[in-house]
Each structure stands twice: as C-alpha cells, then as structure tokens.
Structure 1
C-alpha cells in the first residue's frame, strides 16, 4: 500500500467508476461479443519501461489492418524532449485521419488532440521508478554524455550518493530524473510541487483509459485486449530491447530513501496507478486468472516456435479455448515479433510513404494546424554590391611555394 498522497483518497468505488473501467456491454469471456474493435489508439511510449514491446504489439496490429500511422519523418522520435509538432510527422493520406500513434514523444493533451481523432483511446506504460532508473543507468552510462562520468562498477549507487553532481542541467536529456513523469507531460520545475504533481496524476487518470504496469506485462496486455476488443493473436509478443546482462544491486536503505526523494513525482505516479491496476485486476475475478494462465501457456509455445526458427518451415496452430477461436501463427507473425524497433519502424515508414503516394499525397508536405499563429520570416532586400572576387591567399601562397620548389635552379 502506498504511504501517503493520492492513494489515501482512492476507494474501490472510485476505481469502479473510473474511465478505465470498460463498458458493461463488453464481456471478455465469451467469443461472440457486441463490442467493436478499437482501431484508433495513441500509445504514449515512456523510456526504459518495456514500451518497445507494447509498441511492437500495436504496430503489428496496424500492419495487419493497413491503418494510418502518425510516423516521424526521420528518426524514431515524434518529439525528443518535447511534444508532437506538425513538421515532425508524415501527413495522413487525403481524406483520412491518423489511426495509431506509437513513437516516443512528450504527452500534451492539446497537441495530441489536434492530431488524433476525438474517439482515440489513450494508453501508456510505467515501471517501478527504481527499476526504470537502473535500466536507464545500465543502458546509457557509456553512451550519454552526462552519464559517462559514472564509475564502471556500482554506477547507480555512485549516482544516488551524489545525484546533483552527475545529473545533467538539460532536462530534455535526463533519463534519470523523474523521466516517466516528464514523458507524460509534467514540467521539470514541478517534480517536487506536491499539489501540481497530484493534479498532473488526476489529468493522466482522466485522459488515459489504461496505464499498463511493466511488472505485470501479461495482465496489462489482457486488460488492453479487453478494453480495445482485440484478440489473443493481436497481443502475442516476444520481449524486445531486454538487457540480458542486468547488473544486480544491493542498495542500502539510505540509497533507496535517496532515490524516493530524488524521483518523488515518479513514485507518486507509480504508486497511484499500481494500486489502481491491482484493483482493476481483482475486480475481473477468477475467470481473469484462468484466461491469464491460458495466455501465458500460449506465449511459451509462440516464443519457442519463433525463437527456434521453426516458423521458416511451418505454421503454429493455436487451439480453440473459452477465450479464442482456433488460429495459426505464421512466419510473418514471428518475423514481426522478432524485429527490433528501428528496423520495424523503417519498414513501416517505407510502406507508409508508398501508401501516401498511391493516395496522391506528398510525404513531404507539412500540415500546419494553426496558420494564424505562424510567424513568417521577414524578407530583407539588400542592394546588389559589385565586389571584386576574393582570393584565398593561403591556398595561393601554398601553390606558389610548391611551384617555386619545383623550379630548376
């Protein structure tokens, strides 16, 4: 149970009445439902939380259905350290709107609603702040400038003992200071403002239908399946971007306390949504536990089939259960699940640009949402001056000296 803060005000009835609770018309435990498959989803991908795995799931869903992605023009970021802007995304085909948004970007309610349709469902994922911090340290300490100062051994402990020394002054580049809250839109100057943090969490709770928890990935995906009226085949996954050489730390109580103070906003965020997530799972009842067991068994079969390379020679048959019809996992399914983030994104972007051209839309058009607010550059007309051609004296001097050296004496 969380110690203090927003948690004290949450009751089971609040969770039941939350927007995160699906409609009574949707029942997860029968094959024929009257729910409609949700096609418009914005996934706010937070850093070092398992977001690449969820991104892969939603990206495959969009590929199969030929949906319209809000894709970055070049990198894998829709906005690095900032929210989405029109000049950062490829345009939608003529007469269509975006269906899916899945890349890294800082959340901003107004900016997102200018791009995504009003019926879009918002989901995100968060992780225990200490685990997120460790993942960032171990992954970035040899790559990111401000983390290169850390010692090779016990890097996380060294950082916690003197965080103000190691931490960067540029908040956009910080992956160790309340990064999850920053990705979800909290200004870096408000990390320790208790009232502002509580209001920020309420806003996220209002805007997002589901906040997934990394430590409960399978349960999170089952809830996603239910809320979006998807199928088992849609949420199959193989963990992506996993650190197989994870360093184990034995933190002292003082170091853990120091991190809780340092990442205060992230702890408030995590405690709130972890408590709420567990309540939501508890309310699903025993049938959810049975479905989870089936899903875990299915995942083991799929991972063994795909990772071993068997998909190159045959398909994997998944038998019918109480929660799914019979279906087959194909070689293409495995190929997509095994793709890393950047190659998959490059493939998606290439296919999407071809789609734009088929629809007669130039992929390089920049759609501006607020033309009235655009500042146009002032054109300064200068008189044409007739100048003598300038001589590169250094180059001329070198060539002259070389010629003089070659001259016979």
Structure 2
C-alpha cells in the first residue's frame, strides 16, 4: 500500500509491467512523456520489447553491463515478469506496478488483434466457435500459444498452461502482492491513474492522456453469456488473478476517499477534454487510415481498426510538441527515445 504522506517527493524509479491488451500502451505513453520531459534514463530494449516471450533478463536491456554502475529510472516496455532479474537492474526503492483487464473483454480484444499471430485462432471463424471447444483448436506447444490462454498470468511470469491448483495459485498471488506496489484496472482507468498519481507523487497533469492502441466502440462486440462463461473456464488462472486484484484495487480506492476520488477523476477528464480541444482535429480519435500521417499512424492488424489521431494544423512550439508526444504510437516514441539516448551516448 502506498504512502499518503502529503510531503512526498516525486518518484523517479519506476517499473511498469506492460500487459497485453489492457490499456498498457496508454500507460506507456504517460511514462514516456514524464521521463522524456525530465531527461530520465529509460531501460530500453534492443528491438521493440525486452526479450518477450522469454522471462525478462537484465541483459535484454540495450547497453546493460553488470560491471558498470549505471542508474536506470524507468523500465516499461513489454517483458515477462522476472523479479530477481529486475533487481539486478533497478534501484531498491523502485515503484512496481502493472495493469489488468477483465478477462471477458481482454480475450475478445485479443482474438481480434492477434488473429493472425496465434495458430489456434487460424482454425476458427469466430471467438464463439473457439470457446465451444478450445482443446480442439489449441496446442500448448505451438508458437504464440500464450496469446490464447491465460495471457495475463503469462505476462506476470506464470505458466499459462498450468492447472489452477489452489495452493500454487495462492502462493503465486502472495508473491505478486509482495512484488507490486499497485495494480491498475483498465475498466477503471481514470480511477487507476488517480491512484497512480498519488502513489508516485506526480501531478494530475502528468496523468492526462489520449487513449492509444484502442478500437472504436462500434468495433467492440460484447460476448454472449455462454461464450463468456466458457472462456472464463478456459482462462481460469487469469480469472483468479483478476478477481484477487480487483478486491485490492477497490480497497485502495476506498482508502483514497470516494468524494476525493470523484473530484480528481472529474478534474482529470476535464483536463483531457481541454487538451483534446487544443490538440486534436475533430477533438477525438479517427480510425487508422491515410488521413493520419505515417509518422503518427498506429499499427493496425488486419480487421482490428485501431484508432489514431490527427493534430490541428495551426499548432506550434511547445503546444505542438506536447500534442505530438501524446498521440505517438509506442514504437514511434520508442524510436524517438532510442535516438535521444544515442545522441547522449555520443
């Protein structure tokens, strides 16, 4: 549980475990902007992720040298959680957090986004067909099988094909409780950011965001009760994980105070509305298409219709720079940070 000390100092040693399809790209952008604007040192990957789907190792960080005493401030790219290796890299006072998503919506989103990456999904015409008999279409030894079953459990370092043995699951949950200072929930994203703001002693302005790597509501169908029930059985470890941290999340919201939370969520949303009015053509996202310039166009797998943004044409100076940073897709921003790091090393 984080401190409520009003005299806290902003924390600049941060570990974010980025999970699949859980609004984590938006969190990543918040961390990128905070660290970039303050010239903090990121633990950057050689390519686009930190060795995923292998368990994280410190050597996956670009330029890591165990014999060199280099201080890293933020690590936040895709990795599979491995606490002992993170301890080799990050300072002892680092703040660890992650984000989870309700398994029902997570797997509907994952089915659409990873349709062409997961062999099990190649064999069906719909998620409903897959849910009727997952064992018929799924092979645990195939590539990218972690995208099809218990993906959050896998991201957090567990065996996605493991049995939901009570003793083993409870032991893992206790270990995760001890490792993470805060676990956000994507369904309550603004509430989560208010808690994160307090935990890190950052400002509410630091938490303002535009949603990235998301689909429009019209492209996000709901699952039938029957399909949802079958997928919960198939992803039982993820369901147990989500239920556990859902309880702790709401305990922290209660500790923050209902009236105070409502006020700060409203303030955050008003800041986002005002900044959208300043930055964005049409004040909101557009489906990724040729109207969006290539340098800010999000990656959109076939059929996923990922939303992107177009900036107003009259922006200039610091306003244009801020607006541009807020809408940069993660790989574009990562490239920018690598170029900045290279210049600092030269």
Matched, 1:122 2:96: yes
1:332-351 equivalent positions in 2, closer than 5 A: 332-351=321-340
Whether the 8 Å CA contact 2:164–2:237 is kept in 1: the answer is yes
Q: Choose the corresponding residue for 1:71, options 40, 44, 48.
A: 44
- 1:45, 1:185 → 2: CA distance? 12
1:259-278 equivalent positions in 2, closer than 5 A: 259-278=231-250
1:330 aligns to what SS in structure 2?
helix
- 1:236, 1:86 → 2: CA distance? 31
Question: 1:283 offset after TM fit, Å?
Answer: 2.2
2:184 aligns to what SS in structure 1?
strand
Report the equivalent of 1:319: none
Report the equivalent of 1:399: none
Matched, 1:208 2:180: yes
- 2:38, 2:200 → 1: CA distance? 15
Whether the 8 Å CA contact 1:92–1:98 is kept in 2: the answer is no
CA distance 1:24–1:283, change in 2 (3 Å): closer
2:147 aligns to what SS in structure 1?
coil
- 2:56, 2:253 → 1: CA distance? 32
- 1:178, 1:283 → 2: CA distance? 30
In the superposition, the TM-score normalised over structure 1's length comes to: 0.72
1:302-381 equivalent positions in 2, closer than 5 A: 302-308=275-281, 309-310=311-312, 312-313=314-315, 330-357=319-346
2:78 aligns to what SS in structure 1?
coil
Matched, 1:104 2:75: no
Matched, 1:35 2:8: yes
2:342 aligns to what SS in structure 1?
helix
In the superposition, the TM-score normalised over structure 2's length comes to: 0.85
Unpaired runs of at least 5, structure 2: 282-310
- 1:138, 1:181 → 2: CA distance? 20
The one-character-per-residue Cα deviations of 1:154-194 (angstroms, maximum 9, x if unpaired) are x1111101211222423761212010011001123434222
Which deviates further from its counterpart, 134-143 or 99-108? 134-143
CA distance 1:172–1:183, change in 2 (3 Å): farther
- 1:60, 1:232 → 2: CA distance? 14
Report the equivalent of 2:260: 287
The one-character-per-residue Cα deviations of 1:302-340 (angstroms, maximum 9, x if unpaired) are 12322223484368xxxxxxxxxxxxx722111011101
- 1:147, 1:42 → 2: CA distance? 32
Q: Choose the corresponding residue for 1:222, options 181, 191, 194.
A: 194
Q: Choose the corresponding residue for 2:33, options 60, 66, 79.
A: 60
Whether the 8 Å CA contact 1:80–1:172 is kept in 2: the answer is no
Across the aligned residues of Structure 1 and Structure 2, the Cα RMSD in angstroms comes to 2.0
Unpaired runs of at least 5, structure 1: 1-19, 27-33, 316-328, 358-409
1:226-245 equivalent positions in 2, closer than 5 A: 226-244=198-216
- 2:323, 2:88 → 1: CA distance? 35
Report the equivalent of 1:25: 5
2:15 aligns to what SS in structure 1?
strand
Structure of larger gyration radius: 1
The one-character-per-residue Cα deviations of 1:356-408 (angstroms, maximum 9, x if unpaired) are 23xxxxxxxxxxxxxxxxxxxxxxxxxxxxxxxxxxxxxxxxxxxxxxxxxxx
